[in-house]
Structure formats: C-alpha cells, structure tokens
A and B are shown apart, each in its own frame.
Chain A
Amino acid sequence: MGPAVNRQSQAAVLFLLGAALLHAGTTDLYLRYVKAGLRPLLLASGVILIVTALATAWYEHRRTKTKREQEQQEREQQERPQQKQEQGQQTADAGAPAAPEHAAPEPAHAAHAHPEPRVSWLLILPLLALILVAPPALGSYSATRTGTALQEPLAYPALPATDPLPLSVVDYAGRAVYDHGRTLTGREVRLTGFVALDHDGTPYLVRMALNCCAADAQPVKVGLTGHIPPVLQPDTWLTITGAYTPRTTHDPVNNGPIPFIEVTAATPAPTPRDPYDESWNN
C-alpha cells in the first residue's frame, strides 16, 4: 500500500481530517450523514484533531532540532579526541565523561521507533469522500430496498387549524395508519418528501427517518394517488397538497403498512436543510 506513515504525514492527515470535520460541521453538510444533535461533538473533535496535528508537527520539529544538535555535538566530540591527542596528554582524559552523557538519551529515541501501521493510510479515504465527493443524503435507492419503518405513535396531539395543514411524512403516515385518519379527515394537508418508484411503478413520497447516522436511516413511505404529475423522477423533492384517503397497501420488502394520500397538487421543492426526519430522536 505504500511506506509506513511518518509523523509529518500523520500531522497532515490529522489536520486535513479535522478541517474536513469543521467544514462539515459549520455548513449544513453534516446533516446529510448524521443527526443534528451531533454537531457540537463534531466541531469539538475537529478542533482536537487540528490541535493534535499542530502539537505533532511542533514536537516533531523540536525532536529533529535536538537530534541535529546532538549529532553536531557527536561530530565535534569525534573530532575533539584527535585534536586532544595532538594537543598533549594532560587534557586527554577530559573527553571521557562526555560518552555516557550523550549515550543516555538514546533509549528515549529508540522508543519512537515503532512506525504507524499502513492501515492509517485509509484515513485519507473518508477525507477525500467528504471533501471531493460529498455524497448526497440517502435517497430513492435505499428507500426502495428497505421496508417502511413506520411505528405506532404514542399519542395523536391536536393539530393546528391552519389551512393547508403542514405535516411531516412520518406524522401523516402514523395518523393515517394507526389512528385511521380520525384527525385528518376533512383537512387539506401538505407533505414534503422525495419521490421513489416501486418495482411495479407505484409512486411513493418518502422521508428517511434517522436516529444517529445514515447507516441506521430507514424510510417512511406514503403512496401517491389522485392528480399525480405525469412524469415523476426518483429523488426529486416534492411538496404535495392533498387529502386523507383510507386506502393502504403493504410494503413489498417487509410487509409494513403504507398509507396513501389523495393528491390535489404537487410542486417541486428544494432539498430541505435537514433531509432526514429526526422526530424519533426527541
């Protein structure tokens, strides 16, 4: 894979890694990968990595400097006995005490002999992925491969009287499936999510629900019926206005319940700041 990673390279990798974490944490980039609550920890660890890089570079600088000075001394001492022999016998024994003096620091240097394993090179991969590629949040590919993760809500709090009523995909699906739409009938609701198409072409409006990071993200799906736009591109974000319909189906992946919504209007929407639904965190 390459030579062992030496300290200068380690300082560089640590610095870049810390900078990448800070970059992700200070922009909304981190929301594509982890929950919003992780931000303070992310920023703190970015700072610590940068401090570690600077400390490594500084101590390494000092270490090479003292080593250079030692070598200078050794060279002088190697030269000195010759001079002393030439000078005469009365000063010849003065060079003797110097030998143990400069032999003593050697074990401390030998302690730094272990090189880092080559596996450390792998730390460059997430760095490149985060800075150069910055992959998007999980979308329709994961959503169609994973079953709906809808769970029965604990309660159905009263909804505000605004019209149309903005709701999250997760909230709508929970009320529609487990409360049989009691709080939804006669209301015009508005949902935002991305489009995913099933194998048989059934269009879903999906929001990925996230607990900690994208590795545990699971989709919650709502089927679309009624005035669906003629062309639906997977992964496009839509804001749907519609009404509750009692129709439900089962997810072909895990047999989970999927409610439907009777669409009256669908408009393209920008990708939200936080593409995931984090309501399960609270």
Chain B
Amino acid sequence: MAITRAAPHEEGARRDRPQAAPAPPARPDEPGRLTSPLVLTMLLLLMVLLQSPIRRALSAPVMQSWTTVFVAVVVQALPFLVLGVLLSAAIAVYVPPSFFARALPSRPGLAVPVAGVAGALLPGCECASVPVAGALVRRGVTPAAALAFLLSAPAINPIVLTATAVAFPRNPEMVLARFVASLLVACAMGWLWQRLGRTDWLRLPAHAPHEGETKGAAFWDSVRHDVMHAGGFLVLGAMAAATLKAVAPESWLRTAAENPAVAVLTLAVLAVVLSICSEADAFVAASLTQFSLTARLAFLVVGPMIDLKLFAMQAGTFGRGFALRFAPATFALAIVSAVLTGWVLL
C-alpha cells in the first residue's frame, strides 16, 4: 500500500499552490511536521499493539452494545452511501448541465414538484440522496428543486413504500399517508427555499472543476472525495445514534404515549435521534404500538428527512450555515404535514 510513499512531496506541493506559477522547486518538509500517512501508520500500529486492552475496555455490556450498534449503522449505510456517491459522480462527470435544463421546467416553482416526484426514482435510503442532491446543485439545478429531491427521495421510493406496506399489513392507508405527507414537506421546503433561501447560506465544497483531467480521473476523484467526506459525517451520526440507543431507557416512551400532542413530538424527536435507515424505520414504527397512528406517521415522515446522521452529512455537503437553518425548518414542517395528513387520512 502507498501509505508512506511520496508523502512529503504532496504536502509540500499543497502549501506552494497559492503562490504564482512557476512554483519554486518543492521545499523539503519542515522537520518534525506530522504528515497524514505517518499519523495513519502510527495510529494503526498503536491500535494493533493495544488490541487486548481495547477489547477488555469494550467488554462491558453497555460498551459492547454501543459498538455493535455503531458498527451496524455504518455497515448498513455504507453500501447505500457508495451507491449514492457513484451516482453523484456519474452526474457530476458524465451528465452535461444542459440535460437538467431540458429535463426540469424552467420556472423554479414548477421544477420543485417535478423534482420531488422524481425522488421516487432513486431506490435507496437517505445516505444516497445527500451526495446526489449535492451533485445536482453543482450541476446547475436550482437549489430549491434539488432540496425537494433530497427530502422526497428517501421517503417515497418504491422500496421504502413496499417496506411500509409490509410493516403495516392492517393499515394500508399508512402507505398513502406517508407518500402524501412526505411529498408535501419536500415541495413546501423547496418553495420555502425559493422564497426565503439565500445562496450564500449554501456552501458547497469546491469540487475540482475537472479541467485538464480525463473523465476517468475526474470520476474516481469525485468518488474518493465524497466517500471520505460524507463517510466521516456518517460515522459521526452513527456514534450519536449508538450512544442514544445504548444509554436512553425505553420506559420513557410509555409515559409519552399517553398525551396525543406529546406522543407526536416524542416520536418526531425519536426519529431524529435514532437515525434509522428509511428502509427499516417502518418496522420500528409498527412496533411502537402504544402510540397513535398519526404519531407513528410523524416518525416515518421526519426520519428520512432529518436525523442526526443526515444533519451531519448535510452540514458536510452543503455547509453548516445551511444545515442549521434547513434542519429545524424541515423538522417543523414535517410534523405539521404529518399531523394534517394523519387527521385527513388516518
């Protein structure tokens, strides 16, 4: 593996870049500076040497359960993240911007619902939709439409709706309610962004413009960047979800289920905190039998749109300023939409 090869060269070259061309010959590295391949090698060696103390520290039941849930969330989400990253890299490199200009209505107000319904075409969970939405914005799609896609894709795709139908065999209206409520929130958020959103809130990480590179190089560069970037935030979210799953007692839920308003709020917060994949959340909702159907609908509408793991990934992809404004608005709108839809349909 290329852990140690050619490292000083890269580090040195990076610090030289802001300076005008022609660059001076690569400076020798400052003595004692830690380069990342060195740190990585040392870290991995240290971990292998400390293997048995680490195992002993993790053998307590709480820690064991934490580690299991943490690994499970990451292992479960990674394939979908990789799928989304491949798709977003393909969009960024091989689909010309003119395609989206033709495919979407030119009026943003119309583009929002079209993009929302198009979310049904991305079969996967929420981890896949974040990088794809990022690529869409970078490809010139109006942010309002890309955000509608971001919110609707994980909630209304056929896999998720089928899972919902399987989980609620006695309440088929739950599938329709989930579809309607989720699409409503997605479109409402898209229009809200169009009215109030400011482009300087969106801070997309400057991707390489891929000039002077072959398409293959640009494609793999985009895959590498997105996996490292979104993957890091995925790990952060998985840690938060595992902590809550291992520490918070479930008996709190029983008292919360008694008041209808508190029940809706509790399940909405629980959806944020648990960060369950949208393909599986219907089964968890089905098991929360002490709660009303409307409260469980709120769980299903909120979960795919905003949770700890998604918040971390959105902050990474679109910037923290964006995520801090977008997440609370989505949360509030999702609850309102779920309550209204539940009132009409359930």
Among candidates A45, A107, A151, residue contacting B78 with C-beta atoms closer than 8 Å: A45
13 contacts between A and B (CB under 8 A): A5-B228, A11-B1, A111-B211, A113-B17, A114-B205, A123-B231, A132-B54, A133-B58, A145-B249, A147-B250, A213-B72, A216-B277, A216-B283
Is B107 interfacial (CB 8 A cutoff)? no
Tally of contact residues, B, Cβ under 8 A: 103
A103 touches B22 (CB 8 A): yes
CB pair B86–A48 under 8 Å, yes or no, is yes
Contact count band on A: 35 or more
Residues A44-73 near B (CB distance < 8 A): 44-45, 48-49, 52-53, 55-57, 59-61, 64, 67-68, 71
Stretch at the interface among B3-11, B142-150, B185-193, B336-344: B3-11
Lowest 9 CB-CB distances: which A-B pairs, in order? Answer: A212-B280, A214-B72, A119-B232, A108-B212, A213-B76, A141-B61, A55-B220, A211-B283, A33-B72
Given the contacts A8-B3, A48-B86, A41 and B79 also touching, CB distance less than 8 Å: yes
CA distance in complex: A256, B23 (Å): 71
- B window 51-80: CB within 8 A of A: 51, 54-55, 58, 61-62, 64-65, 67-76, 78-80
Residue B103 at the A interface, CB < 8 A? no
Q: Is the CB of A126 within 8 A of B36?
A: no
Which residues of A have CB within 8 Å of B11?
6
User: Which one of B68, B231, B236, B287 contacts A151 once the chains associate, using CB atoms below 8 Å?
Assistant: B287
Which of these binds chain A: B40-48, B91-99, B175-183, B195-203? B40-48
Which residues in B have some Cβ–Cβ distance to A below 8 Å? 1-7, 9-11, 13-14, 17-18, 21-23, 25-26, 33-37, 39-40, 43-44, 47-48, 51, 54-55, 58, 61-62, 64-65, 67-76, 78-80, 82-83, 86, 167, 169, 205-206, 208-213, 216-217, 220-221, 223-225, 227-229, 231-233, 235-236, 238-239, 241-242, 245, 249-251, 253-254, 274-277, 279-281, 283-284, 286-287, 289-290, 316
Name the A residues within 8 Å of B274 (CB-CB): 215
Q: Give every chain A residue within 8 A of B3 (Cβ-Cβ).
A: 8-9, 12
Q: Which of A67-83 contact B (CB under 8 A)?
A: 67-68, 71, 74-75
A interface SS class: helix
Q: Is the CB of B73 within 8 A of A215?
A: yes
Question: What is A's interface to B at a CB cutoff of 8 Å?
Answer: 2-15, 17, 21, 24, 30, 32-34, 38, 41-42, 44-45, 48-49, 52-53, 55-57, 59-61, 64, 67-68, 71, 74-75, 102-103, 105-117, 119-126, 128-130, 132-133, 135-142, 145-147, 149, 151, 154, 211-216, 218, 253-256, 280
